[in-house]
Amino acid sequence: MGWVHCGRIAAAPIRPRPTIFAKTYRRPHSAPLVADSGATRSYGSRLYNGRVVMRGSGRITFIAGGLLVAAAWIAGTAGLPEAYWPVVEVLPELLAVLLLVAAFRFRRSRLAMAAIIVAVTNILLREVLVTGETAVVHNGLALLSIAVPINLGILALLRDHPLQRPGPLLHIGAILVQPWFAAAFLRALERDPVSGSNDGWLVLLRSPHAALLAFLIAVVFTILAFVFRRGTFEVALLWVLVASALALLSHRSPHSMALLMAAGQLALLFSLVEDSYRLAYHDQLTGLPGRRALDETLARLEGDYVLAMVDVDHFKRFNDRFGHDVGDQALRMVADELALVGNGGRSFRYGGEEFSLVFSGCTPDQMWDTLDAIRERISERSFAIRSPKRPAKKPEQAVKPAGPTKSVKLTVSIGAAGPSNRATEPEEVLKAADGALYKAKRRGRNRVVIEGVRAKPRKKA
């Protein structure tokens, strides 16, 4: 069967596969969504959590970080004019101050730690290692090339906390005192050059394979952390590791190394900007764009368009009966279906159990099949409620269910409208769509009402 795209017949779109962390899973359309009425996380909640619906998290940071590191490498290879050297030398430290202020404000302890690690590394490269004796410089660079990826890799395993807590402060203190412990370690290695008892340590330090292995292990930990958390910080941390590896392992000039360190700091800054954007414009529960994004989209609308309001039927009753945790999973399921809307539509979380759909370049009489298909898909989905007596962990051997499993279905009512003589502005059209939604409620729910369009008869099963 063809798919109507604003009056044009096209092939039915292929629905994308729902993402489970880094893997893809083809969920049969008839498969029930599994939910827990207790506090444990179920398979279904993992499938419909915010990180799953919020596809593309970290994409801007990944692109920007790659471009910054590449630009720093090219600029360092080509050579900068001497007039820029004084600024470039201290740029990583200046960016670190900015990142520390932002980390304190946004409670991002890992961001502060990463910025301090990069700044301290740049200071050591500029003030100590480059100007010292040849043997000390060689051993110091080798030790720094191992210590930096270890410190950055540890951040991938931690979680963010407010910066003023004792744990983050102690961690920052440990980072700051490491150069003195490293200096003492190097002096101990150089103290007895005749006996050769320290030759093994020196060979290990000076081996390029040791530093490369440390960077590779840190990169693996960072990628695994991103797979499970889907955070922008992990993406930025990956580019910080790349920039640090290029600076420490390629034996470049001090100004080239400072440029790469600055690129790492800017990648961290981009991750914060992207996170702030998503917090401001996306709903954390469902991952859909939120009310602010809807308002800005409405302000840009012109010409033909259709606005639709979607409301989950009897959601308060559902929430009171099964609890807020299960209710949140139900909203995620509805949001996941709305995110796959066809006809070029965009879905938004309006608030509570209400969602909004925006179709640009369409007229109301073209939207019936699309909106009714959304309603039908959601009404056909099974939502399984497991017993609260279900064990928190999966037993090694199959056991008889601890309680009954209830299977319920959710329905939605949809109201839509387009510009008319009585509603010319997008805000007025949205109110008209909301009025059509209440008509759908009054007519029995689980139906579509489009302002000014006669309802089509439902297909018989």
- 166 Cβ contact partners less than 8 Å away, ≥ 6 residues apart: none
- Among the listed residues 353, 380, 427, 451, the single catalytic one is 353
336, 48 contact by CB (below 8 A): yes
Do residues 227 and 21 touch, judged by C-beta distance below 8 A?
yes
Q: How far apart are CA 141 and CA 210, in angstroms?
A: 12
Examine the residue annotation and report whether 353 is marked as an active-site residue of this protein. Answer: yes
- The alpha carbon of residue 163 and the mean position of all alpha carbons in its chain are separated, in whole angstroms, by 21
Q: What is the DSSP string of 293-313?
A: HHHHHHHH--SSEEEEEEEET
Alpha helix segments (H runs only) across 158-290: 166-190, 199-206, 208-229, 232-249, 254-281
What's the token pair of residue 34?
Answer: 């599994």
Distance between CA atoms of 416 and 289, rounded to whole angstroms? Answer: 19
Encoded tokens for 389: 């007596």
Q: How far is CA 61 from CA 160, 233, 271, 386, 432, in A?
A: 18, 9, 5, 39, 39
The DSSP secondary-structure symbol of 1 reads: -
Give me the active site residues, please.
353
